[in-house]
A and B are shown apart, each in its own frame.
Chain A
Amino acid sequence: MLGYALRRVAVAVPTILILIVTCFVLMKTAPGGPFTSERPLPPQVLANIEARYGLDQPEWKQLLGYLRNILLHFDFGPSFQYKDRDVNDVIAQGFPITLTYGILSFIVASVAGISLGVAAAVRQNSWLDYLAVGFSFSAQALPNFVMGPILILVFALYLGWLPGGGWNGGQWQYLVLPVIALSTSYVASIARITRSSMLEVLNANFIRTAVAKGLPMRTVIWRHAMKPTMMPVVSYLSPVFVYVITGSVFVDIYFSTGGLGQSYVNSALSRDYAVLLGVTILYGVLTILFNLITDLLYAWLDPKVRY
């Protein structure tokens, strides 16, 4: 198991490096720099600015410097747009907010989705099953940017139960709508995957053996069927994590939470490559780390991959 874990880490590290280099190269090939605005700057001013950001150095040196700063100091360099702020400042301000409701949404999606899927599979063809299947089918078509307006319309504008936006230090009232908006469609898809996986497992030979042993159904499901059921679900959790991260961009804008997504889109619109790359790399690294976690989880579920 330890060997397996170390091997996965050994794969993750170069992946992160390649990610950073790719992003850097992409930025360098972009037509027009961050300072080519409508009003051309005098050449002397431009040269000064470029010197300040190290843009006058040969590109491989810039890359090495960029890599070194990120890997050794977690420093993504200065922002191109805000003269007095580093990329790190931007991240430090928005990231905790995004992370808070992102993780909450992820937990809600997994827990609700898995419970719903298991319940539906165990009571196949009951009203509960039909309800779950119906819900997961329609909810899949309700991505966050559709759920958002609907939720605000109903709960904030008409019913007035919950605030339609803002953060307010992360009080629960401010968390409810973003979390529902972000998690609904993943509750649905996780429930679907769990249900069909559980149904398949329940048809397996080893389940027949367990039933033939005279074990109560409860034991058969929890001890024998649960872990194998979770295998495809765990593989699906990585993409869900990515979707939640990307979806947070929308939530930040729509619910004005002040999270990192707002800065991301702002920097995209103003071509602030430093912030853009910094955030992309941060999200990419998060994804890679999460993939690592799911790989290990998978190894725990399936003794065959633990070598």
Chain B
Amino acid sequence: MAALTGSKPDPAPRGRSLLEDAALRFLRNRAATGAAGVLGLLVFFVILGPFLAEWNYEEIDWTTIGDVRTLGAPSLASGHYFGTDDLGRDLYSRTLQGARTSLLVGFVGAAVAMVVGTAYGAVAGYAGGRLDDLMMRKVDILLAIPSTLVIILLMVIFERSLLMLFVGLGLTGWLTMSRVVRGQTLGLRTREFIEAARAAGVSDSMILWRHILPNLLGVVIVYASLLVPEMILAESFISFLGLGVQEPNTSLGALIAEGAGTMGYGTLWQLLFPLSFFLLTIITLYFVGDGLRDAFDPKDG
């Protein structure tokens, strides 16, 4: 390349790492990059959208009360772009607020699960033997309890808050992650390059940090990306049941529940706006996750 023949004598050309390879493959996947673009716009809108709002999410527009069906319908004139909910609150602001909560729960929950699950799984897999048995038996038992029920239990027994929701989702989400990571680590541990590092006198913690973790990266990224929609689903489900985020805060699940409850009364927008945001989020997340998996695991190219 002509651009490289500069004055600086740096003769060794850069190689392309597996990560860069994966990034390139991902960028070539039109469905995935398209979805990532849509998702990016969505996040952008959810954050900046409130500046366009004329009502905030807890204000009640008393003028609509009594006839939400006609007065609360979506209109630019009234400033209720998405209409109002049954109590006369602005659905545009509420939907954005709900989407923010859902995305936050999704990403933070997945991040917590990723960190805990990776650390736990990598240690169990690398240690092996009795410790591994013990650690994995614990995971098996926890996995046997339906996770949504655990979260409901937690939300009931302790106070209902966003923090508790994070704790609950994090507490249950890392289990599968740790299993996957542990399986991968077991495979990595017997690979020759790990033995080579040990023969070179590299310490165990250094091996974990420098060899095991970077090689887990692909799997971890892929599973974490699939965890995000799962977390959003779980949160929405709990909020749908009225056991999640508390009023006046809301989430997409809660809004869908409210909208579904009133759809018999001709206020269909109350269901459709939150529902479209929800579907858009989940579908784009799935596309991105799928694209990541194809990029990191190019088996059926």
Q: Do chains A and B touch in the complex (CB under 8 A)?
A: yes
Question: Is A72 among interface residues, defined by CB-CB distance under 8 A?
Answer: no
Which residues of chain B are within 8 angstroms of A18 by Cβ–Cβ distance?
141
| Segment of B93-101, B106-114, B277-285 in the binding face | B277-285
CA distance in complex: A249, B241 (Å): 9
- Also in contact, A149 and B243, with CB within 8 A (given A18-B141, A268-B152): no
- Also in contact, A137 and B146, with CB within 8 A (given A146-B275, A148-B260, A199-B300): no
Which residues of chain B are within 8 angstroms of A157 by Cβ–Cβ distance?
263-264
CB distance from B86 to the nearest CB of A (A): 15
Question: Is B83 among interface residues, defined by CB-CB distance under 8 A?
Answer: no
Which residues of chain B are within 8 angstroms of A6 by Cβ–Cβ distance?
none
A272 nearest in chain B by CB position? B156
Decide: B157 and A30 in contact? CB cutoff 8 A: yes
Most buried by A among B141, B152, B243, B287: B141
CB distance from A190 to the nearest CB of B (A): 15
Question: Is B212 among interface residues, defined by CB-CB distance under 8 A?
Answer: no
Question: Is B286 among interface residues, defined by CB-CB distance under 8 A?
Answer: yes
CB-CB contacts of B243-258 with A at 8 A, as 1s and 0s?
1000000000100110
Decide: B153 and A280 in contact? CB cutoff 8 A: yes
Question: Is A40 among interface residues, defined by CB-CB distance under 8 A?
Answer: no
A144 nearest in chain B by CB position? B237
Decide: A250 and B256 in contact? CB cutoff 8 A: no
- Also in contact, A287 and B158, with CB within 8 A (given A138-B283, A269-B242): no
- Also in contact, A26 and B153, with CB within 8 A (given A138-B283, A149-B271, A157-B263): yes
CA distance in complex: A143, B279 (Å): 10
Which residues of chain A are within 8 angstroms of B275 by Cβ–Cβ distance?
146, 149
Which residues of chain A are within 8 angstroms of B54 by Cβ–Cβ distance?
none
Q: Quick one: which of B130-172 are within 8 Å of A by CB?
A: 140-141, 144-150, 152-153, 155-158
Decide: A284 and B257 in contact? CB cutoff 8 A: no
CA distance in complex: A141, B228 (Å): 12
Q: Quick one: which of A28-87 are within 8 Å of B by CB?
A: 29-31
A281 nearest in chain B by CB position? B145
CA distance in complex: A287, B256 (Å): 29
CA distance in complex: A18, B259 (Å): 40
Question: Is B233 among interface residues, defined by CB-CB distance under 8 A?
Answer: yes
Which residues of chain A are within 8 angstroms of B286 by Cβ–Cβ distance?
137, 140-141
B300 nearest in chain A by CB position? A199
CA distance in complex: A253, B241 (Å): 8
Which residues of chain B are within 8 angstroms of A146 by Cβ–Cβ distance?
256, 275, 278-279
Which residues of chain A are within 8 angstroms of B146 by Cβ–Cβ distance?
242, 245-246, 280, 283-284, 287
Question: Is B55 among interface residues, defined by CB-CB distance under 8 A?
Answer: no
Decide: B145 and A143 in contact? CB cutoff 8 A: no
Question: Is B240 among interface residues, defined by CB-CB distance under 8 A?
Answer: yes
CA distance in complex: A31, B164 (Å): 14
Which residues of chain A are within 8 angstroms of B287 by Cβ–Cβ distance?
137
CB distance from A295 to the nearest CB of B (A): 11
Which residues of chain A are within 8 angstroms of B184 by Cβ–Cβ distance?
none
CA distance in complex: A18, B145 (Å): 11
Question: Is B236 among interface residues, defined by CB-CB distance under 8 A?
Answer: yes
CA distance in complex: A279, B150 (Å): 11
Which residues of chain B are within 8 angstroms of A283 by Cβ–Cβ distance?
146, 149
Which residues of chain B are within 8 angstroms of A11 by Cβ–Cβ distance?
140
CB-CB contacts of A238-255 with B at 8 A, as 1s and 0s?
000010011001100110
Q: Quick one: which of A271-307 are within 8 Å of B by CB?
A: 271, 273, 276, 279-280, 283-284, 287-288, 291
Q: Quick one: which of B253-301 are within 8 Å of A by CB?
A: 253, 256-257, 259-260, 263-264, 268, 271, 275, 278-279, 282-283, 286-287, 290, 299-300
Decide: A149 and B156 in contact? CB cutoff 8 A: no
Question: Is A119 among interface residues, defined by CB-CB distance under 8 A?
Answer: no
CB distance from A171 to the nearest CB of B (A): 22
Q: Besides the contacts A23-B153, A276-B156, A283-B146, what 13 more A-B pairs have beta carbons closer than 8 Å?
A: A29-B157, A30-B157, A137-B283, A140-B286, A141-B279, A145-B256, A149-B275, A250-B237, A265-B242, A268-B153, A269-B242, A276-B153, A283-B149
5 nearest A-B residue pairs (beta carbon): A149-B260, A30-B157, A141-B282, A246-B148, A141-B283
Q: 16 A-B residue contacts at CB 8 Å?
A: A19-B141, A26-B153, A30-B157, A137-B283, A138-B283, A140-B282, A140-B286, A152-B263, A153-B271, A246-B147, A246-B237, A254-B260, A265-B243, A268-B156, A268-B243, A269-B242
